[in-house]
Amino acid sequence: MSRLPQISSSRPFGYPADDAPLSCGAHSLTKLAKRFGTPLYVYSGDQMLERLGLFQAALAHREHLVCYAVKANSTLAILKLFAERGAGFDIVSGGELERVLAAAPEAAGRVVFSGVGKTAEEIDRALDAEILAFNVESEAELALLAQRAAKRKRKARFALRVNPDVFAETHPYISTGLREHKFGIDIREARRIYAGAKGNRWLTPHGVSVHIGSQIRSAEPFGAAMMRVAKLVKQLSQDGIAIKTVDAGGGLGIDYHAAPGFDPKAKVAEYAAALEGALKGLDVQLLLEPGRFLVAQAGALVARVLYVKRNGKKTFVVLDAAMNDLIRPALYQAYHEIVPVAPRAGRAVTVDVVGPVCETGDFFARDRKIKPIEPGDLVAVLDAGAYGMAQSSNYNSRPRPAEVLVVGREAKLIRRRETLADLLGPEMV
């Protein structure tokens, strides 16, 4: 039996040989850690583009636009990578718009602006940038959009984000499709709201948008939501409102355990078929907003073991990475595979993998079996490409990690490691 941990082929990380360290493509994580230090985010740009291509190929027969959900990972080099392959972008803040414009200004017309709390300043900036559309989440927001558009004398294309009241099995923090959630407009009210906006010269009813949650593993809820959207689009057509786009949102999940049966291509095909079945006969452009599915498995957080500490029956592996670098386990009790970069021989032992932050919640795994590990060893926290760096912080005054993007034979630093000077810079005494 191999001494190496099993890593699913759906990930871009693997051991090239029994005596070789974990690698991303042609690049050893040992060498990348030596070159760039730890903690370190390492991403496979090749897998990101491959996943984008799965959606584009599955929908090649229909006019469509894959709008990458910037909130999943907003690093500029990644945005540029997607833009160069024709992707659009789903943003939820003015800051994310600025990131898209900095990385790929030519992609402004492929941006949809979602989010429940858009400010007047954010709306103005998006109008000036001539984005594709606003996904409007309340009647009050639509009124503000009309006001700002009139003041700037720019027509605003909008889609109501309707709430279809469809249940999707996922973590309650990332479920968004029920009436009790803060997102969207009751689908039963949408027809009235579109009719009211029809006569406003500064508003253009352009689409209908829906988003039911994140990390959803079944295609059925997406199809059910899209059936309700399709019915609304037909009703709006009867009202003389021609809808140009239907935005299916994002939310297609991955397998963080990466079981052997997880097939990304099959998942995308199943998802696309569910949407197509609901939209059959409708002449609309289909917008998608995948985030996690494109980038999560493409990333790993590489960390060095500082100490192996035994308290009674418990063994703690203390890393130089912490919850400020990857908060998902502490926030959602999320599962991430953790593997040694250069595995040692011997039987796996049960440990808690933790960070140095002064919180009991600062952990990556509890009671996890892992190959023998010693201080100075490197480990990789897998599936960390989404909601890792994007949710990072400077808690405990810890500088955030560096990021490296691997594309083909090149491993490129795309964000330098923060310094204490960066942390102290904005403050005054």
Residue-by-residue pLDDT tens, the chain, 429 positions: 356 787 888 899 999 998 899 999 999 999 999 999 999 999 999 999 999 999 999 999 999 999 999 999 999 999 999 999 999 999 999 999 999 999 999 999 999 999 999 999 999 999 999 999 999 999 999 999 999 999 999 999 999 999 887 755 444 444 444 455 556 899 999 999 999 999 899 999 999 999 988 889 888 989 999 999 999 999 999 999 999 999 999 999 998 986 666 899 999 999 999 999 999 999 999 999 999 999 999 999 999 999 999 999 899 999 999 999 999 999 989 999 999 999 999 999 999 999 999 999 999 999 999 999 999 999 999 999 999 999 999 999 999 999 999 999 999 999 999 999 999 999 999
Q: Tell me if 382 sits within 8 A of 11, measured CB to CB.
A: yes
CA neighbours closer than 13 Å in the CB half-sphere of residue 258: 19
Give the C-alpha separation, 134 to 159, whole Å.
6
Candidate list 17, 140, 345, 358, residue with the active-site label: 358
3-state secondary structure 295-311: HCCCEEEEEEEEEEEEE
CA neighbours closer than 13 Å in the CB half-sphere of residue 352: 19
- 259 Rama sector, left if φ>0, alpha if ψ -120 to 50, beta otherwise: beta
- Domain spanning 13-37+298-424: CATH 2.40.37.10: yes
**Bind-site residues for substrate:** 292, 328, 332, 359, 387
Active site residue 24: no
Give the C-alpha separation, 322 to 325, whole Å.
5
**Bind-site residues:** 251, 289-292, 328, 332, 359, 387
Residue ranges covered by each domain of the chain: 13-37+298-424, 45-292
**Bind-site residues for pyridoxal 5'-phosphate:** 251, 289-292, 387
pTM higher than 0.75 = yes
Q: What is the CATH number of domain 45-292?
A: 3.20.20.10
Q: What percent of the chain has pLDDT over 70?
A: 94
Over residues 359-379, the pLDDT tens digits come to: 999 999 999 999 999 999 999
